[in-house]
Amino acid sequence: MRPVTFISLTEPGRALAERLQALMPGAEHLNRPQPFQDTVRARFLAGHRLILLCAVGIAVRTLGPALRDKYQDPAVLVLDEHGRFVVPILSGHEGGANEWARQVAEFIGAQPVITGAQRYTQPLLIAGLGCNRGCPLQPLLALLDQTLIEHGLQRADLRALASIELKQDEPGLHELAATLGLPITFYSAATLNAYSDRLSRKSDIVFRETGCYGVAEAAALACAERWVRHDYPAELLIPKQKNADATLAIARIYGNRDA
């Protein structure tokens, strides 16, 4: 996945960029970098996806000399400093900027301004699960249904289930997948550990038991980002929920299911 850089020029822009880091925790933030144009072009040519908190004119004049083509150029979004509008200005389709703009706009409560021809995309929801050894179907189903109801969702909104490889022999998880008519994927602890910085909470106890700092949230994010081919991250829609026997989290990504 391409790295992300936020570049802000004003104090409101800086504050907005700091809010966005909750959505993209690994992103770089540069406030009033000097020299401005050289810094922006260097990040762009290095393949960084950019969120520029400035006027569209500034962005266009800065990036114009660095443009190559829509297949090589990374996605670029422009936001006004108050977070009212999100405008994808480069690589809308091929680079995923249009879908990325929708995701950013929803996160900050802004209006996405998409001027290119529209492709139909949809929010795809993935449930990540963890459970105690030998957990039967009913506690898993009860936690899932309770969580969905509390957040105004339905079983039909889900596209897949995911967990850790340590749980791939758990009958309850396979029964849940069969009951819902959904695929379930199991990921290694190493794969899930790559998402440790994006968890709502890291657990040393879970790490000692599984080799990763969180199962449900990491599995949901890992599966969502493998479910569609898009160059931006999934978001944690519902952080870890739990009952006495299981844990559950739901991730969301926008796009169309890969063939």
Q: Could you give all domains of the chain from N- to C-terminal order, each with its CATH number?
A: 4-112 (3.40.50.11220), 122-255 (3.30.420.180)
pLDDT tens digits along 99-134: 888 888 888 888 888 876 555 667 789 999 999 999
User: Residue ranges of the alpha helices (H) in 24-96?
Assistant: 36-45, 56-63
Closest CA relative to residue 63, chosen from 53, 182, 52: 52
The arithmetic mean of pLDDT across residues 70-82, rounded, is 88
Backbone angles phi, psi at 97, to 5 degrees: -65, -35
In this model, does residue 253 exceed pLDDT 90? Answer: no
Using a 10 angstrom Cβ sphere, with 0-12 exposed, 13-18 middle and 19 or more buried, the burial of residue 126 is buried
Q: What angle do CA 195, 199, 202 make, to 5 degrees?
A: 105
pLDDT tens digits along 39-48: 999 999 999 9
Confidence tier at 255 by pLDDT (50, 70, 90): low
How much of the chain exceeds pLDDT 70, in percent?
Answer: 93
CA gap 66, 50 in Å, rounded: 13
Q: Let me know: does 157 contact 147? Beta carbons within 8 Å.
A: no
255 DSSP β-pair partners: 122
Q: Let me know: does 43 contact 50? Beta carbons within 8 Å.
A: yes
CA gap 58, 10 in Å, rounded: 13
What is the average pLDDT score of the chain? 89
Residue 171's CB is within 10 A of a number of other CB atoms, namely 11
Confidence tier at 259 by pLDDT (50, 70, 90): very low
pTM for the whole thing? 0.57
Backbone angles phi, psi at 230, to 5 degrees: -140, 145
Tell me, rounded to whole angstroms, the distance of Cα 2 from its chain centroid: 13
The arithmetic mean of pLDDT across residues 1-6, rounded, is 85
Sign of CA dihedral 51, 44, 227, 142: negative
The arithmetic mean of pLDDT across residues 41-66, rounded, is 93
CA gap 221, 126 in Å, rounded: 8
User: Residue ranges of the alpha helices (H) in 46-96?
Assistant: 56-63
Backbone angles phi, psi at 30, to 5 degrees: -115, 120
The arithmetic mean of pLDDT across residues 140-153, rounded, is 92
Closest CA relative to residue 53, chosen from 108, 101, 16, 105: 16
